[in-house]
Amino acid sequence: MRGMTETTPKALGSAPPVAAKKPHTFTHHGVTIADPYHWLRDPGYPEVKDAEVLAHLEAENAWFEARMQPLQPAVETLLAEMRGRIKEADKSVPQKDGDWLYWIEYEEGAEYKKWWRRPVAGGPDELILDEVALAEGKEYFRLGALSVSSDGRLLAWAVDDNGSERFTARIKVIATGEVLPDVIPGTLSALVWAAGDKALVYSLANAQWRTDNARLHWLGTPVEDDVELYHEDDEGFRVSAGLSANDEWLVISTGDHETSEVRLVPAADPLAAPLLVKARQTGVEYDVDVRGETLFIHTNDSHENFRLATAPLADPAAWTTLIEGTDDFYLTGFDLFRDFYVVEGRVRGLDRIEVRYYDDPARIEPIAFPEASYEASLGDNPEWAMDTLRVSYESMTSPASVYDYHVGERRLELLKTQEIPSGYDASLYETARLEVTARDGTAVPVSVVWRKGREAGGPLYLYGYGAYGIAIGPGFSTTRLSLVDRGFAYAIAHIRGGDDLGRRWYKAGKLEQRTNTFNDFVDVAKGLIAEGFTAAGRIAIAGGSAGGELMGAVINSDPELWGAVAAHVPFVDVLSTMLDADLPLTPGEWPEWGNPIEDKAAFELIRSYSPYDQVRAQAYPPMLVTAGLNDPRVTYWEPAKWVAKLRELKTDTNELLLKTNMGAGHGGKSGRFEGLRETAEEFAFILAQIGVPT
């Protein structure tokens, strides 16, 4: 075992759990595949009650606890460090919304936050929601939607208390605390006030955990009488609802990963006939907002990096370009305000925020930021008539900051910088944005941070995701300091599959080009070795969900590079999952991965990289794998099957641990400190395997 003390747990013996092998095969496109660990999927899922399945997961958890026991002092040390960097009694900068100022607060030692407000005109603070009280006695707690009625009188909120991401919505009178009898179980959506605060619009998760509907609940009526405003028949599409920026329109959207369609309904009259903006066209995505009699449409119909168009409400499908799509500026979104609008995007991978004006299209005012590499975005800006914008900012070396941007003066005003009680000196650290040439000649960006004076060739932590067009920005993290201060460089590989460099970058890592994502990650690691940042075998890698798929692919292809691997809720049984149309996410995922049921080429491609299917008899690096029993996104049996197969076939004696959260879902433990413990466990594991003292 690399760097980990040998132990012999009395109850377990000296060997990890071995999953039984049971005959099971499936055949597609004339190919028959054996899957002897298929039995780990409880046929009663989403309920998991099979005694043999539970016994195996509990045995893996016991093995995890036993093997990690020698590292508990390291875990506690790391946890204390991480907790010491959190200002435990903290609150957000208040933001005005109507007659009230709203903010959130954490109390000393609290896992969860409290939501507060006070009148703008003056008056006492008012507690509107107490997560601490709601979470009391629960193993898991997650607040979903939260929405205050437009008159400020009522609060609607939704809670998931087991990690299944099926939320129960409730409503209360803020002034008195009276919880109304209205209870809406099974929601998976925002909660949108409509009809003069007499009704809520929401979406239910169906039996397959898909939101194929938008529903209207009249306050005080039985939930069984709720009206379905819209139903989506395409099983791959998901429905959502929100309000236009001026609060006049209910915006009902439906779509998958490549196609969308929007309908508008007067918010004051949600039962009115909906106005279809433009019928769906495969491959065309769009979202809309409304100002007066004009629609604003953000769409990729003429350029993959999106354009911004307008159309009259009277003729919503007649789109006229306002901002052209270009190769240079990736237009990711827009926000309308009464006197101006804001567009957000990226130029060469760096965030850009521009204020623009309705009456002067040539007037473009980008917000200037002080560093060469950073993350910046609009914060919470709830009002229609605003002259000051709330903006968030951070970088690899700069803690998160909150600014007000005074539009008329083009001036940033710093309101708050993340406080690190145990101390932080940015001058002790260096950061760089590098480019590594991948095997096909593509330049792949990498963001790296390290402590000054670090020795060349030292250990490296390399993070990657690379899917769904999700960019991983060069942001700040207090937890990573526990590695960086011990000589690690911390790197983020901005690999294809994310949209870090625009929509083309995303497309170059999906469907038939999926393997670019894995190759980029490996090539980034090799490039950092060549640059002297690290050495083979001294690289710890981590990723979760689709990033866990990345981990599985690169340990199959290049196991000798990695000194330790953390794969969190990893999407590793890709072929079986994409062949199962009854699973919650599968139909909506086909535009991302391909449909192996109908397409033989997609079947063969997915099979060629699916980590579970490609496990082979070879040496693998030390690995820590996590799962959530109630996870609807990556079902628990994917990591369980993967670990079982790795135990069977791997030829090394390196550590392989599986930890399944038996009362949580995709995000792991809830609560700000419980989540820190899991990070501390990961880092303790990595330090031990790489051979770096705690």
Cβ(167)–Cβ(188) below 8 Å: yes
Q: Which residues are catalytic?
A: 545, 631, 666
Average model confidence (pLDDT) for the chain? 95
Q: So what's the pLDDT on residue 210?
A: 87
CA distance 570 to 421: 34
Indicate the pLDDT class of residue 666, thresholds 50, 70 and 90: low
Cβ(548)–Cβ(567) below 8 Å: yes
- Average pLDDT score over residue span 551-558: 98
Residue (of 581, 596, 592, 637) closest to 210 by Cα position: 581
Q: How far is CA 501 from the centre of its chain?
A: 19
CATH number of the domain where residue 41 is located: 3.40.50.1820
Report the predicted TM-score, pTM, of the whole model to 2 decimal places. Answer: 0.92
Per-residue pLDDT of 268-308, as tens digits, reads 999 999 999 999 999 999 999 999 999 999 999 999 999 99
For residue 220, being part of any structural domain is answered with: no
Residue 112 has pLDDT above 80, yes or no: yes
CA distance 67 to 430: 35
- Average pLDDT score over residue span 385-412: 97
Share of the chain above pLDDT 70, in %: 97
Residue (of 131, 146, 231) closest to 190 by Cα position: 146
**In 472-553, beta strands by DSSP E:** 489-493, 539-544
For residue 484, being part of any structural domain is answered with: yes
Residue 13 has pLDDT above 60, yes or no: no
More confidently predicted of 343 and 584: 343
Per-residue pLDDT of 596-615, as tens digits, reads 999 999 999 999 999 999 99
For residue 400, being part of any structural domain is answered with: no
Q: So what's the pLDDT on residue 4?
A: 33
Cβ(654)–Cβ(622) below 8 Å: yes
For residue 371, being part of any structural domain is answered with: no
For residue 5, being part of any structural domain is answered with: no
For residue 341, being part of any structural domain is answered with: no
For residue 680, being part of any structural domain is answered with: yes
Q: How many CB atoms lie within 10 A of CB 61?
A: 18
Residue 661 has pLDDT above 80, yes or no: yes
Domain of 677 in residue numbering reads as 25-83+433-690
Gyration radius (Cα) of the chain, Å: 26
β-pair type (539-544, 562-568): parallel
Give me the number of domains the chain comprises.
1
Sheet with 341-347: list strands edge to edge: 329-336, 341-347, 350-357, 360-366
For residue 494, being part of any structural domain is answered with: yes
Cβ-in-10-Å burial (0-12, 13-18, 19+) of 1 comes to middle
Q: So what's the pLDDT on residue 673?
A: 86
- Average pLDDT score over residue span 68-83: 98
Q: Quick check: bond before 46 cis, omega within 30?
A: yes
**Out of 59-63, 440-444, 669-673, least confident range:** 669-673
